[in-house]
Amino acid sequence: MTNLEFKPLYPDWTGRPIVMAGPCSAESEEQVLETARALASQNIHLFRAGIWKPRTRPNSFEGVGSIGLKWLKKVKEETGLKVTTEVANRNHLSEALKFGVDVIWIGARTTVNPFSVQEIADGLQGVDIPVLIKNPINPDLNLWIGAIERIYKAGIQRIGVVHRGFSHYGNSPFRNEPRWSIPIELMRRFPDLTVICDNSHICGNRHMLGAIAQRAMDLNYHGLMTETHPNPDEAWSDAKQQITPEVFGTLIADLKIRDVSSSDESFLNHLEDLRHQIDLIDDQLLTYLGVRMELARKIGEYKKDNSISILQPSRWNEIVETAVEKGKGKGLSEIFIEKLLTAVHQESISQQNKVMNQ
Protein backbone atom coordinates (compact mmCIF):
# COMPACT_ATOMS: atom_id res chain seq x y z
CA MET A 1 0.00 0.00 0.00
CA THR A 2 1.26 3.46 -0.80
CA ASN A 3 0.00 6.96 -0.15
CA LEU A 4 -1.64 6.31 3.18
CA GLU A 5 -3.21 9.49 4.49
CA PHE A 6 -3.11 9.77 8.23
CA LYS A 7 -4.94 12.25 10.41
CA PRO A 8 -3.89 13.67 13.78
CA LEU A 9 -5.19 11.65 16.72
CA TYR A 10 -7.27 14.68 17.77
CA PRO A 11 -7.35 17.97 15.84
CA ASP A 12 -6.59 20.01 18.95
CA TRP A 13 -3.51 17.98 19.91
CA THR A 14 -1.28 20.32 17.96
CA GLY A 15 1.66 21.34 20.15
CA ARG A 16 4.53 19.11 21.18
CA PRO A 17 4.85 16.98 23.19
CA ILE A 18 1.55 15.12 23.18
CA VAL A 19 1.72 13.61 26.65
CA MET A 20 0.44 10.14 27.49
CA ALA A 21 0.99 8.83 30.98
CA GLY A 22 -0.39 6.50 33.59
CA PRO A 23 0.49 3.25 35.31
CA CYS A 24 1.84 0.20 33.53
CA SER A 25 -1.13 -1.69 35.00
CA ALA A 26 -4.40 -0.71 36.60
CA GLU A 27 -4.14 -2.33 40.05
CA SER A 28 -7.04 -0.90 42.04
CA GLU A 29 -9.63 1.80 41.65
CA GLU A 30 -7.78 3.98 44.18
CA GLN A 31 -4.40 3.62 42.45
CA VAL A 32 -5.91 4.42 39.05
CA LEU A 33 -7.83 7.45 40.28
CA GLU A 34 -4.98 8.79 42.41
CA THR A 35 -2.60 8.62 39.45
CA ALA A 36 -5.14 10.16 37.08
CA ARG A 37 -5.93 13.07 39.42
CA ALA A 38 -2.24 13.90 39.80
CA LEU A 39 -1.69 13.69 36.04
CA ALA A 40 -4.83 15.68 35.20
CA SER A 41 -3.42 18.60 37.15
CA GLN A 42 -0.43 18.48 34.79
CA ASN A 43 -2.67 18.76 31.74
CA ILE A 44 -1.62 15.52 30.10
CA HIS A 45 -3.45 14.54 26.91
CA LEU A 46 -4.13 10.86 27.46
CA PHE A 47 -4.27 8.60 30.50
CA ARG A 48 -2.93 5.08 29.99
CA ALA A 49 -3.39 1.93 32.07
CA GLY A 50 -2.97 -1.72 31.12
CA ILE A 51 -5.96 -3.94 31.96
CA TRP A 52 -4.83 -7.12 30.20
CA LYS A 53 -1.08 -7.48 30.61
CA PRO A 54 1.04 -9.56 28.26
CA ARG A 55 3.76 -10.82 30.58
CA THR A 56 6.88 -12.58 29.41
CA ARG A 57 6.71 -15.29 32.10
CA PRO A 58 3.62 -16.90 33.63
CA ASN A 59 2.80 -16.34 37.30
CA SER A 60 3.44 -12.61 37.00
CA PHE A 61 0.50 -10.27 37.49
CA GLU A 62 -1.50 -10.48 34.27
CA GLY A 63 -3.85 -7.56 34.74
CA VAL A 64 -7.15 -7.00 36.52
CA GLY A 65 -9.23 -7.56 33.37
CA SER A 66 -12.50 -5.89 32.46
CA ILE A 67 -13.17 -4.49 35.93
CA GLY A 68 -10.37 -2.00 35.23
CA LEU A 69 -12.46 -0.55 32.41
CA LYS A 70 -14.94 0.71 35.02
CA TRP A 71 -12.08 2.53 36.73
CA LEU A 72 -11.03 4.10 33.44
CA LYS A 73 -14.59 5.24 32.91
CA LYS A 74 -14.46 6.89 36.34
CA VAL A 75 -11.22 8.60 35.37
CA LYS A 76 -12.99 10.10 32.35
CA GLU A 77 -15.99 11.20 34.37
CA GLU A 78 -14.03 12.67 37.22
CA THR A 79 -11.04 14.27 35.49
CA GLY A 80 -12.22 14.75 31.90
CA LEU A 81 -9.05 13.01 30.69
CA LYS A 82 -9.18 10.81 27.62
CA VAL A 83 -8.15 7.22 28.37
CA THR A 84 -6.36 4.41 26.56
CA THR A 85 -5.68 0.74 27.18
CA GLU A 86 -4.00 -2.15 25.37
CA VAL A 87 -6.14 -4.56 23.38
CA ALA A 88 -4.73 -7.83 22.09
CA ASN A 89 -7.80 -9.53 20.64
CA ARG A 90 -11.31 -8.87 19.47
CA ASN A 91 -12.84 -9.53 22.85
CA HIS A 92 -10.58 -6.93 24.51
CA LEU A 93 -11.53 -4.50 21.76
CA SER A 94 -15.27 -4.90 22.17
CA GLU A 95 -14.98 -4.63 25.95
CA ALA A 96 -12.89 -1.45 25.62
CA LEU A 97 -15.34 0.08 23.14
CA LYS A 98 -18.28 -0.82 25.37
CA PHE A 99 -16.75 1.13 28.26
CA GLY A 100 -15.97 4.20 26.14
CA VAL A 101 -12.18 3.90 25.99
CA ASP A 102 -11.12 6.83 23.77
CA VAL A 103 -7.96 5.45 22.18
CA ILE A 104 -6.80 1.86 21.93
CA TRP A 105 -3.22 0.67 21.72
CA ILE A 106 -1.82 -2.47 20.18
CA GLY A 107 1.10 -3.82 22.21
CA ALA A 108 4.50 -4.91 20.94
CA ARG A 109 3.72 -8.59 21.39
CA THR A 110 0.55 -8.23 19.34
CA THR A 111 2.05 -6.21 16.48
CA VAL A 112 4.29 -9.20 15.70
CA ASN A 113 1.27 -11.37 14.96
CA PRO A 114 -0.64 -10.59 11.75
CA PHE A 115 -3.52 -12.90 12.81
CA SER A 116 -4.09 -10.89 15.99
CA VAL A 117 -3.69 -7.53 14.28
CA GLN A 118 -6.15 -8.60 11.58
CA GLU A 119 -8.62 -9.75 14.21
CA ILE A 120 -8.47 -6.32 15.85
CA ALA A 121 -8.71 -4.62 12.44
CA ASP A 122 -11.85 -6.66 11.65
CA GLY A 123 -13.37 -5.52 14.93
CA LEU A 124 -12.59 -1.90 14.06
CA GLN A 125 -14.63 -1.89 10.84
CA GLY A 126 -17.01 1.04 11.04
CA VAL A 127 -15.51 2.36 14.31
CA ASP A 128 -13.88 5.78 14.36
CA ILE A 129 -11.27 5.69 17.11
CA PRO A 130 -7.59 6.61 17.25
CA VAL A 131 -5.31 3.56 17.32
CA LEU A 132 -1.75 3.48 18.62
CA ILE A 133 0.47 0.74 17.24
CA LYS A 134 3.59 -0.17 19.18
CA ASN A 135 6.61 -1.42 17.31
CA PRO A 136 6.92 -5.22 17.12
CA ILE A 137 9.37 -6.62 19.68
CA ASN A 138 11.70 -7.73 16.87
CA PRO A 139 13.40 -5.06 14.75
CA ASP A 140 11.32 -5.62 11.64
CA LEU A 141 10.08 -2.43 10.01
CA ASN A 142 7.87 -4.28 7.54
CA LEU A 143 6.01 -6.05 10.31
CA TRP A 144 5.32 -2.67 11.91
CA ILE A 145 4.17 -1.23 8.57
CA GLY A 146 2.03 -4.33 7.96
CA ALA A 147 0.16 -3.72 11.21
CA ILE A 148 -0.34 -0.05 10.28
CA GLU A 149 -1.72 -1.12 6.88
CA ARG A 150 -4.12 -3.65 8.38
CA ILE A 151 -5.58 -1.06 10.76
CA TYR A 152 -5.67 1.56 8.00
CA LYS A 153 -7.56 -0.82 5.71
CA ALA A 154 -10.22 -1.12 8.43
CA GLY A 155 -10.92 2.56 7.78
CA ILE A 156 -8.86 4.05 10.62
CA GLN A 157 -6.94 7.17 9.66
CA ARG A 158 -6.17 8.41 13.15
CA ILE A 159 -3.18 6.15 13.65
CA GLY A 160 -0.19 6.81 15.86
CA VAL A 161 2.87 4.66 16.30
CA VAL A 162 4.61 4.08 19.60
CA HIS A 163 8.34 3.41 19.58
CA ARG A 164 9.03 1.21 22.63
CA GLY A 165 12.33 -0.33 21.55
CA PHE A 166 13.32 -3.82 20.37
CA SER A 167 14.24 -7.03 22.15
CA HIS A 168 17.83 -8.19 22.30
CA TYR A 169 19.86 -10.92 23.89
CA GLY A 170 22.81 -10.14 26.16
CA ASN A 171 23.95 -7.00 27.92
CA SER A 172 22.57 -3.62 27.06
CA PRO A 173 21.99 -0.39 28.95
CA PHE A 174 18.41 -0.57 27.63
CA ARG A 175 15.57 -2.91 28.44
CA ASN A 176 14.64 -2.66 24.77
CA GLU A 177 17.18 -1.30 22.28
CA PRO A 178 15.90 1.91 20.69
CA ARG A 179 17.40 1.34 17.20
CA TRP A 180 16.38 4.87 16.26
CA SER A 181 16.98 4.27 12.56
CA ILE A 182 13.84 2.09 12.36
CA PRO A 183 11.32 4.73 13.52
CA ILE A 184 13.25 7.36 11.55
CA GLU A 185 12.76 5.32 8.38
CA LEU A 186 9.07 4.95 9.25
CA MET A 187 8.80 8.75 9.58
CA ARG A 188 10.50 9.18 6.23
CA ARG A 189 7.97 6.89 4.57
CA PHE A 190 4.91 8.27 6.37
CA PRO A 191 5.61 11.91 7.18
CA ASP A 192 2.14 12.63 8.60
CA LEU A 193 2.04 9.70 11.02
CA THR A 194 1.91 10.65 14.72
CA VAL A 195 5.02 9.25 16.43
CA ILE A 196 5.19 8.69 20.18
CA CYS A 197 8.20 7.57 22.22
CA ASP A 198 7.55 5.10 25.04
CA ASN A 199 10.67 5.96 26.99
CA SER A 200 9.63 3.66 29.86
CA HIS A 201 9.87 0.39 27.94
CA ILE A 202 13.00 1.50 26.08
CA CYS A 203 14.82 2.33 29.33
CA GLY A 204 13.48 -0.22 31.80
CA ASN A 205 14.88 2.05 34.53
CA ARG A 206 14.21 5.52 35.88
CA HIS A 207 17.51 7.28 35.35
CA MET A 208 17.55 7.34 31.53
CA LEU A 209 13.92 8.39 30.99
CA GLY A 210 14.68 12.10 30.63
CA ALA A 211 17.56 11.62 28.20
CA ILE A 212 15.53 9.31 25.96
CA ALA A 213 12.54 11.67 26.02
CA GLN A 214 14.81 14.56 25.01
CA ARG A 215 16.33 12.48 22.24
CA ALA A 216 12.84 11.74 20.91
CA MET A 217 11.90 15.43 20.99
CA ASP A 218 15.09 16.30 19.11
CA LEU A 219 14.07 13.79 16.44
CA ASN A 220 10.69 15.58 16.09
CA TYR A 221 8.60 12.91 17.75
CA HIS A 222 5.14 14.25 18.50
CA GLY A 223 4.84 12.88 21.98
CA LEU A 224 5.70 10.61 24.85
CA MET A 225 4.12 7.70 26.65
CA THR A 226 5.57 7.29 30.13
CA GLU A 227 4.59 4.93 32.94
CA THR A 228 3.72 6.67 36.18
CA HIS A 229 2.64 5.25 39.50
CA PRO A 230 1.90 6.91 42.85
CA ASN A 231 4.26 4.48 44.54
CA PRO A 232 6.56 3.13 41.80
CA ASP A 233 8.54 0.71 43.99
CA GLU A 234 5.32 -1.07 44.90
CA ALA A 235 3.96 -1.34 41.34
CA TRP A 236 2.65 -4.78 40.39
CA SER A 237 4.38 -4.65 37.00
CA ASP A 238 7.39 -2.78 35.61
CA ALA A 239 8.23 -1.27 39.01
CA LYS A 240 11.81 -0.39 38.06
CA GLN A 241 10.84 1.96 35.26
CA GLN A 242 7.85 3.77 36.73
CA ILE A 243 8.02 7.26 38.21
CA THR A 244 5.64 9.32 40.31
CA PRO A 245 3.39 11.86 38.57
CA GLU A 246 5.43 14.61 40.27
CA VAL A 247 8.75 13.32 38.91
CA PHE A 248 7.05 12.95 35.54
CA GLY A 249 5.95 16.59 35.72
CA THR A 250 9.56 17.66 36.22
CA LEU A 251 10.70 15.46 33.34
CA ILE A 252 8.22 17.15 30.99
CA ALA A 253 9.04 20.64 32.28
CA ASP A 254 12.77 20.03 31.72
CA LEU A 255 12.37 19.03 28.07
CA LYS A 256 13.75 21.40 25.50
CA ILE A 257 11.28 21.56 22.66
CA ARG A 258 12.99 22.87 19.59
CA ASP A 259 11.05 24.11 16.58
CA VAL A 260 10.67 21.67 13.68
CA SER A 261 11.32 24.53 11.27
CA SER A 262 11.84 28.29 11.20
CA SER A 263 10.77 31.19 8.98
CA ASP A 264 13.79 33.35 9.82
CA GLU A 265 15.42 34.32 6.49
CA SER A 266 19.04 34.42 7.56
CA PHE A 267 18.74 31.19 9.54
CA LEU A 268 17.18 29.46 6.52
CA ASN A 269 19.83 30.80 4.14
CA HIS A 270 22.68 29.63 6.30
CA LEU A 271 21.04 26.26 6.83
CA GLU A 272 20.52 25.86 3.12
CA ASP A 273 24.14 26.69 2.50
CA LEU A 274 25.32 24.04 4.97
CA ARG A 275 22.88 21.49 3.53
CA HIS A 276 24.14 22.23 0.05
CA GLN A 277 27.68 21.45 1.21
CA ILE A 278 26.43 18.19 2.71
CA ASP A 279 24.66 17.25 -0.53
CA LEU A 280 27.89 17.82 -2.45
CA ILE A 281 29.82 15.62 -0.06
CA ASP A 282 27.18 12.88 -0.21
CA ASP A 283 27.47 13.03 -3.95
CA GLN A 284 31.24 12.63 -3.76
CA LEU A 285 30.88 9.76 -1.30
CA LEU A 286 28.61 7.95 -3.78
CA THR A 287 30.99 8.60 -6.65
CA TYR A 288 33.91 7.25 -4.64
CA LEU A 289 31.92 4.22 -3.52
CA GLY A 290 31.10 3.50 -7.14
CA VAL A 291 34.80 3.70 -8.03
CA ARG A 292 35.69 1.52 -5.06
CA MET A 293 33.23 -1.16 -6.17
CA GLU A 294 34.63 -1.03 -9.69
CA LEU A 295 38.05 -1.82 -8.18
CA ALA A 296 36.52 -4.60 -6.12
CA ARG A 297 35.09 -6.16 -9.28
CA LYS A 298 38.52 -5.92 -10.94
CA ILE A 299 40.07 -7.66 -7.97
CA GLY A 300 37.32 -10.29 -8.29
CA GLU A 301 38.30 -10.93 -11.92
CA TYR A 302 41.93 -11.12 -10.96
CA LYS A 303 41.33 -13.53 -8.11
CA LYS A 304 39.14 -15.65 -10.34
CA ASP A 305 41.88 -15.92 -12.99
CA ASN A 306 44.36 -16.92 -10.30
CA SER A 307 41.96 -19.13 -8.38
CA ILE A 308 42.19 -17.20 -5.10
CA SER A 309 39.28 -17.05 -2.62
CA ILE A 310 37.38 -13.82 -1.94
CA LEU A 311 37.69 -13.32 1.80
CA GLN A 312 41.08 -12.47 3.23
CA PRO A 313 40.58 -11.84 6.92
CA SER A 314 44.04 -10.43 7.61
CA ARG A 315 43.63 -7.78 4.92
CA TRP A 316 40.16 -6.93 6.26
CA ASN A 317 41.42 -6.56 9.87
CA GLU A 318 44.15 -4.28 8.69
CA ILE A 319 41.66 -2.04 6.84
CA VAL A 320 39.38 -1.75 9.88
CA GLU A 321 42.19 -1.11 12.35
CA THR A 322 43.77 1.60 10.24
CA ALA A 323 40.43 3.28 9.58
CA VAL A 324 39.43 3.22 13.26
CA GLU A 325 42.73 4.92 14.16
CA LYS A 326 42.37 7.53 11.43
CA GLY A 327 38.69 8.07 12.26
CA LYS A 328 39.53 8.90 15.90
CA GLY A 329 41.49 11.94 14.76
CA LYS A 330 38.48 13.10 12.74
CA GLY A 331 35.89 12.80 15.50
CA LEU A 332 34.40 9.56 14.12
CA SER A 333 33.45 6.86 16.59
CA GLU A 334 34.82 3.34 16.40
CA ILE A 335 31.26 1.94 16.15
CA PHE A 336 30.50 4.16 13.19
CA ILE A 337 33.70 3.28 11.31
CA GLU A 338 33.10 -0.42 11.90
CA LYS A 339 29.49 -0.24 10.71
CA LEU A 340 30.41 1.81 7.67
CA LEU A 341 33.29 -0.41 6.62
CA THR A 342 31.29 -3.57 7.28
CA ALA A 343 28.59 -2.36 4.90
CA VAL A 344 31.18 -1.41 2.28
CA HIS A 345 32.99 -4.71 2.72
CA GLN A 346 29.79 -6.75 2.40
CA GLU A 347 28.92 -4.98 -0.83
CA SER A 348 32.46 -5.60 -2.13
CA ILE A 349 32.17 -9.29 -1.31
CA SER A 350 28.82 -9.62 -2.99
CA GLN A 351 30.07 -7.83 -6.11
CA GLN A 352 33.20 -10.00 -6.22
CA ASN A 353 31.05 -13.04 -5.67
CA LYS A 354 29.01 -12.18 -8.73
CA VAL A 355 32.11 -11.65 -10.84
CA MET A 356 33.69 -14.92 -9.70
CA ASN A 357 30.63 -17.12 -10.06
CA GLN A 358 29.11 -15.74 -13.20
Residue ranges binding Mn ion (CB under 5 A): 24, 238
| Shortest distance, position 61 Cβ to Mn ion, whole Å | 11
Q: State the nearest-atom distance from the C-beta of 282 to ligand PEP, in Å.
A: 35
User: How many whole angstroms separate alpha carbon 188 and alpha carbon 2?
Assistant: 13
Judged by beta carbon distances under 5 to 8 A according to partner kind, the member of Mn ion, ligand PEP, none in contact with residue 124 is: none
Interatomic CA distance for residues 314 and 46, integer angstroms: 56
Near ligand PEP in 297-356, by CB under 6 A: none
65 contacts which partner out of ligand PEP, Mn ion, none, CB within 5 to 8 A by kind? none
Task: Please state, in angstroms and rounded to a whole number, the distance separating the CA atoms of residues 81 and 65.
Answer: 21
CB 240 → Mn ion: shortest distance, Å?
Answer: 10
**26: helix, coil or strand?**
coil
Selection from Mn ion, ligand PEP, none that 175 binds (CB < 5 to 8 A by kind) is none
The H or E element that residue 216 is part of is helix 209-218
Residue nearest to Mn ion (CB): 24
Nearer to ligand PEP, 190 or 236 (CB): 236
Choosing among Mn ion, ligand PEP, none, which partner's interface includes residue 108 (Cβ < 5 to 8 Å by kind)?
ligand PEP
In whole angstroms, the minimum distance from the beta carbon of 172 to ligand PEP comes to 16
- For residues 242 and 172, what is the distance between their CA atoms, to the nearest angstrom? 19
Among 158, 164, 175, 229, binds ligand PEP (CB under 6 A): 164
Q: Show contacts with ligand PEP in window 22-41 (CB under 6 A).
A: 24
State the DSSP string of 59-82: TS----TTHHHHHHHHHHHHH--E
The residue among 6 and 71 lying less far from Mn ion, judged by its C-beta, is: 71
Q: For ligand PEP, give the closer residue by CB, 64 or 337.
A: 64
Which string of DSSP letters, residue by residue, matches 37-52?
Answer: HHHHTTT-SEEE-BSS
CA distance 314 to 36: 61
Distance CA 175, CA 207 (A): 12
In the complex, minimum distance from the CB of residue 271 to Mn ion, in angstroms, rounded to a whole number:
39
Query: Are 17 and 258 in contact, with CB atoms under 8 Å apart?
Result: no
* Nearer Cβ to ligand PEP (24/39): 24
Beta strands in 217-311 (DSSP E): 223-227
| Direct distance between the N- and C-terminal alpha carbons of the chain, in angstroms, rounded to an integer | 36
Among the listed residues 201, 226, 337, 352, the single contact to ligand PEP using CB under 6 A: 201
CB of 219 to Mn ion, least distance (A): 22
SS3 for 100?
A: coil
Q: Which is nearer to ligand PEP, 12 or 233 (CB)?
A: 233
Q: Identify whether the C-beta of residue 148 lies closer than 8 Å to the C-beta of residue 157.
A: no
Nearby residues of 329 by Cβ (< 8 Å), 6 or more positions away: none
Size of the site for ligand PEP (CB under 6 A): 9
- Return d(Cα 39, Cα 175) in angstroms, integer: 25
Nearest approach, Cβ of residue 23 and Mn ion (Å)? 8
- Shortest approach of Mn ion to residue 52 CB, angstroms? 12
Identity of the residue, 150 or 164, whose beta carbon is nearer to ligand PEP in the bound complex? 164
By CB under 6 A, is residue 54 in contact with ligand PEP?
yes
Instruction: Pick out residues in 104-163 that bind ligand PEP (CB under 6 A).
Output: 107-109, 134
**Rounded to an integer, what distance in angstroms lies between the CA atom of residue 43 and that of residue 56?**
33
Nearer to ligand PEP by Cβ, of 228 and 348: the residue is 228
Residues 15, 335: Cα–Cα separation, whole Å: 36
Nearest alpha carbon to residue 116 among 69, 150, 163, 165: 150
Choose the one of ligand PEP, Mn ion, none that binds residue 160, judging by a C-beta under 5 to 8 angstroms depending on kind. Answer: none
Q: Is residue 175 a contact point for ligand PEP (CB under 6 A)?
A: no
Residues of the shown chain interacting with ligand PEP in the complex, contacts defined by CB under 6 A: 24, 50, 54, 107-109, 134, 164, 201
